[in-house]
A and B are shown apart, each in its own frame.
Chain A
Amino acid sequence: MAISQTKKILLIEDDKPTVKIVKLMLEQEGYEVSVAGDGEKAIEALKNPADLILLDLLIPKIDGFQVLKIIRQEKKLKLPVVVFSNLSRQRDIEQAAELGANDYLVKSEFSAGKLKQKINNFFNAK
């Protein structure tokens, strides 16, 4: 897929194999992907502008919910944040929505193709 201007995605994820494959999938779609391996690095990475954040919830140091809270309540950033986790309980989904997540993707429910499509749709819909 051709994108007129390279979009930047911040992938907040600690699991290295996941990072490797997701980064590859997204780069294949033409996105510029930067990675933060824990909550602290994620906060640090917020200094650099991104067009979308893919956020895992179970990450070291500061968990994903806290990172989301900091993004929305402290930093008051409006960029889209898509939760990307294998936690699938309703209470987790609701909590993320309350904290201001734009979408919640359960990893195990997406194939590589669907995931790429979902992210592309996100940008195309804007």
Chain B
Amino acid sequence: MVNFLLALIVLRNNPRNIINKVFFLISVFLGLWGFSLLFYQFPLIFSSLAWIKMTYLSASFYLIFVLAFSFIFPTAIYRQFWRPAAFFSLIFLAVTIWLLFFTKIWIIDVVVDPQKGLQTIWGNGYYLWLLIIWISIIWTFINLIIKSRHSSGLRKLQLKFFSYSFVLFSFLVTVSDGIVPIFFNDTRLFYTSAIFSIIFSGVTAYAILKHRFMDIHLVVARSISYFLLLFSFGVFYSLTLFLCATFIIAEPIAIGTYALFSLIALAVAFSFQPLLAFFQRITDNIFYKQNYNESRLLYDLALLMASTFSLVELTDKLLEKIMAAIRVSFGAFVLIDNKKIFHLVQRGYAGKMKISDGDISRFVKQTQIVLFDELPENALKETMRRLNINVIIPLRVKGETEDVLIFGEKLSGNPYTDKDISFFQVFASAASAAIKNVSNVEQIMRLDELKSEFVNVVSHQLRTPLSVARWNFEMILDNVFGKLPPKVEQITRDTYLQFVTLNRGLNNLMAVLEIEKNEVLMKYDKIDIDQAIIKEVISDLAEVIKEKKITIKQENPIARKFSLDQKKIKAVFEIILDNAIRYSPDGSTITISQTLRKGKRKNEILISVADRGIGILSVNKEAIFTKFFRGEEAKKMSPDGFGLGLFMAKKYVKYHGGDLWFEKNKAGGSTFSFFIPERTGK
């Protein structure tokens, strides 16, 4: 029965496959062998003599098909021997039929011995048949062993199980059906061959379940869970019926009984799914010991993909997670660019994987997941064998295989299951998109870094001659080289101021780039704002102040040191005062005031610069602090400006925890103010 069941499952799994067909026939004849032996012992129909002949005929067919199987499983080999093998099989079959049904030189009769029970009387023909079957057995065994030696991984295990169980079975049957009857003149042990056939079936079934023999792993697991389900239904239904009939109804079936049955049927229907899931869990736990939750794993991997922006880090973390879940000996992401490896991230592999350009070109041709065990002999299989790869997962973007993910054997020695494959399929599509995105981000970052380097060098190259020119003009204007005629001095001063403006613009541009890249570092010192910032800036801008005949009025200077980044706050104040001077009419007054005030938590210093300039439109209140913004009036009055100063100034004040804003003055012009809270510590 077990054999017939096995035969049907294998055939159902893939009816078109020649291997499955032959295995189906092997199992059928093994089953027939068992049946014949049963009827030989208990001849319900026909005689024991007829059944023993049937037993031998089944055994012969079985051996012929096993021989055929050894030629075609797992791959067809030695095609040149197929014809001799078929010829041998025909002779084998002809001799068997002739000996069994047309002569009395093999089986003479079946008698019942008073002491030994049922006995088969043989003639010398039996020896001839034994000789032929052992030729067939040895031939089969040689085929299987040669194949086993040339296989690896899963196939090797399958062949090992199959060939050993086959030889063990053949040997045991020869002892029980040949050696014992011949030497002890007793055929009572005939029935044991039926038991041995169950052993053979058991070992084969183990090979199927443990090593995905012929792909029916899942089918068998599911069939058993379904069987358990039906069985429990039967018990439940019968018991319920029995209990109802005995204790509740105890009467001929009435309408109420039908209603009760309907309720029971409903209960059965409703409990079907939970019970099915329950038994599937049990069978899955038995057959997939290293189980993992596919959706949970995918969720974890998705989180990783969404939060990692370094390609090497991402691929390494993904490998770590997958390998821990599926328990794989090694894994690697082979990231390919222009048919060459540009990143190889591997885990668990001894040494560095030696992947050639040829291997890469074979990898990128793959459109589907490749399993070593299911691949025919070709160059890719050779590569996989050399690198011990068991599975290749192509990572495809826009229909092209751009990268591949590879894994070695599972640590358990088990093959990859259909569940693993379906997980890989889902993961591959998500991973290929994530890798593409991260590569793009990395490329942008590399370009950004290049741009930063470029800007840095260019600004350096521009600033150096500018600095030299400024210093030279300063020395000239300081009369180091002698006093200049008034007209020359005026022209020199004008030129010098142009250079100063250009220099400041370049400095601001560099500072803004640093702000954009979040590379601004704060360097706090205790600073006297009045002396080290306000007076310093006024002194730095003395040339333009003088030029425009501006009066600077200072109110309430505060003699107190504040913890701040001197360079940055000086830049802030310089920008504000420079703007005030630039946009004020000649001869006007600019008022600088300092106030120490109580803030929300700490003391704050408030600095204001009030001018009588062109003023700023209310609509530009926010826009004025954005990059490259310049008001229309400002452009008219001073066309050369970068529009970066106020953006930068506001950022610097914000870095100090303060703020910068402006108000329109009632008497015209505007007041720019900023405050900085007092810092504790340095």
The one of B466, B467, B480 in contact with A28, judged by C-beta atoms closer than 8 angstroms, is B480
Closest chain A residue to B481 by CB distance?
A24
**Quick check: B474 and A90 within 8 Å, CB to CB?**
no
A110 to B500 alpha-carbon distance, docked (Å): 11
**Quick check: B519 and A22 within 8 Å, CB to CB?**
no
Pick out which of these stretches binds chain A: B219-227, B425-433, B455-463, B644-652: B455-463
Task: Contacts A58-B460, A86-B459, A107-B463 given; indicate if A112 touches B519 (C-beta within 8 A).
Answer: no
**Quick check: A21 and B475 within 8 Å, CB to CB?**
yes
Task: Contacts A89-B456, A108-B506, A112-B474 given; indicate if A18 touches B463 (C-beta within 8 A).
Answer: no
Task: Contacts A15-B464, A58-B460, A107-B464 given; indicate if A90 touches B520 (C-beta within 8 A).
Answer: yes
B547 at interface, CB cutoff 8 A: no
The one of A91, A107, A108, A109 in contact with B519, judged by C-beta atoms closer than 8 angstroms, is A91
Task: Contacts A89-B456, A107-B463, A108-B506 given; indicate if A22 touches B471 (C-beta within 8 A).
Answer: yes
The one of A24, A94, A108, A113 in contact with B467, judged by C-beta atoms closer than 8 angstroms, is A108
**Quick check: B510 and A88 within 8 Å, CB to CB?**
yes
**Quick check: B460 and A21 within 8 Å, CB to CB?**
no
Closest chain B residue to A89 by CB distance?
B456
B540 at interface, CB cutoff 8 A: yes
> B655 to chain A: closest CB distance in Å?
13
The one of A17, A18, A25 in contact with B475, judged by C-beta atoms closer than 8 angstroms, is A25
B259 at interface, CB cutoff 8 A: no
Closest chain A residue to B507 by CB distance?
A108
A87 at interface, CB cutoff 8 A: yes
**Quick check: A90 and B471 within 8 Å, CB to CB?**
no
> A46 to chain B: closest CB distance in Å?
24
A124 at interface, CB cutoff 8 A: no
**Quick check: B464 and A21 within 8 Å, CB to CB?**
no
Interface string of B441-471 (1 = CB under 8 A from A): 0000000000000001001100111111011
A121 at interface, CB cutoff 8 A: no
A111 at interface, CB cutoff 8 A: yes
Task: Contacts A87-B460, A89-B519 given; indicate if A113 touches B466 (C-beta within 8 A).
Answer: no
Interface size of A in residues (CB-CB distance below 8 Å) = 28
Interface string of A1-36 (1 = CB under 8 A from B): 000000000000001011001101100100000000
**Quick check: A108 and B466 within 8 Å, CB to CB?**
yes
Interface string of B485-527 (1 = CB under 8 A from A): 0000000000000000001001100100010000111000000
Closest chain B residue to A13 by CB distance?
B464
A18 to B468 alpha-carbon distance, docked (Å): 6
A22 to B506 alpha-carbon distance, docked (Å): 21
Interface string of A87-126 (1 = CB under 8 A from B): 1111101100000000000111111111100000000000
Q: Please indicate the chain B residues that have their CB under 8 angstroms from the CB of A115 in the complex.
A: 471
Interface size of B in residues (CB-CB distance below 8 Å) = 26
Task: Contacts A18-B464, A86-B459 given; indicate if A25 touches B471 (C-beta within 8 A).
Answer: yes
Q: Please indicate the chain A residues that have their CB under 8 angstroms from the CB of B467 in the complex.
A: 18, 86, 107-108, 110
A94 to B470 alpha-carbon distance, docked (Å): 27
Q: Please indicate the chain B residues that have their CB under 8 angstroms from the CB of A86 in the complex.
A: 459-460, 463-464, 467
B472 at interface, CB cutoff 8 A: yes
Closest chain B residue to A17 by CB distance?
B468
Interface string of A73-95 (1 = CB under 8 A from B): 00000000000011111110110
Q: Please indicate the chain B residues that have their CB under 8 angstroms from the CB of A108 in the complex.
A: 463, 466-467, 503, 506-507
Q: Please indicate the chain B residues that have their CB under 8 angstroms from the CB of A112 in the complex.
A: 470-471, 474-475, 478
**Quick check: A21 and B507 within 8 Å, CB to CB?**
no
Q: Please indicate the chain A residues that have their CB under 8 angstroms from the CB of B540 in the complex.
A: 111, 114
Of residues 543 to 567 in B, which have CB atoms within 8 Å of A's CB atoms?
A: 567
**Quick check: A111 and B510 within 8 Å, CB to CB?**
no
> A19 to chain B: closest CB distance in Å?
10
Q: Please indicate the chain A residues that have their CB under 8 angstroms from the CB of B460 in the complex.
A: 58, 85-87
A37 to B352 alpha-carbon distance, docked (Å): 47
A30 to B507 alpha-carbon distance, docked (Å): 30
Closest chain A residue to B506 by CB distance?
A108
A108 to B503 alpha-carbon distance, docked (Å): 7
Q: Please indicate the chain A residues that have their CB under 8 angstroms from the CB of B510 in the complex.
A: 88-89
**Quick check: A90 and B521 within 8 Å, CB to CB?**
yes
Most buried by A among B466, B470, B540: B470
Q: Please indicate the chain B residues that have their CB under 8 angstroms from the CB of A89 in the complex.
A: 456, 510, 514, 519
Of residues 60 to 81 in A, which have CB atoms within 8 Å of B's CB atoms?
A: none
Closest chain B residue to A108 by CB distance?
B463
**Quick check: A15 and B514 within 8 Å, CB to CB?**
no
Q: Please indicate the chain A residues that have their CB under 8 angstroms from the CB of B468 in the complex.
A: 15, 17-18, 21
Q: Please indicate the chain B residues that have their CB under 8 angstroms from the CB of A94 in the complex.
A: 521
Closest chain A residue to B457 by CB distance?
A58
Closest chain A residue to B470 by CB distance?
A111
**Quick check: B472 and A21 within 8 Å, CB to CB?**
yes
A103 to B474 alpha-carbon distance, docked (Å): 24
Most buried by A among B464, B468, B471, B519: B471
**Quick check: A17 and B456 within 8 Å, CB to CB?**
no
Q: Please indicate the chain B residues that have their CB under 8 angstroms from the CB of A22 in the complex.
A: 471
- List 19 interface pairs A-B (beta carbons < 8 Å), by A numbering: A15-B464, A17-B468, A21-B468, A21-B475, A22-B471, A86-B460, A86-B464, A86-B467, A91-B519, A93-B521, A106-B507, A108-B467, A108-B503, A108-B506, A111-B471, A112-B471, A112-B474, A114-B540, A115-B471
Listed in ascending order, the chain B residues whose CB lies under 8 Å from chain A are: 456, 459-460, 463-468, 470-472, 474-475, 478, 480, 503, 506-507, 510, 514, 519-521, 540, 567
Q: Which 7 A-B pairs have the closest CB atoms?
A: A112-B474, A86-B463, A108-B463, A107-B467, A112-B471, A17-B468, A86-B460
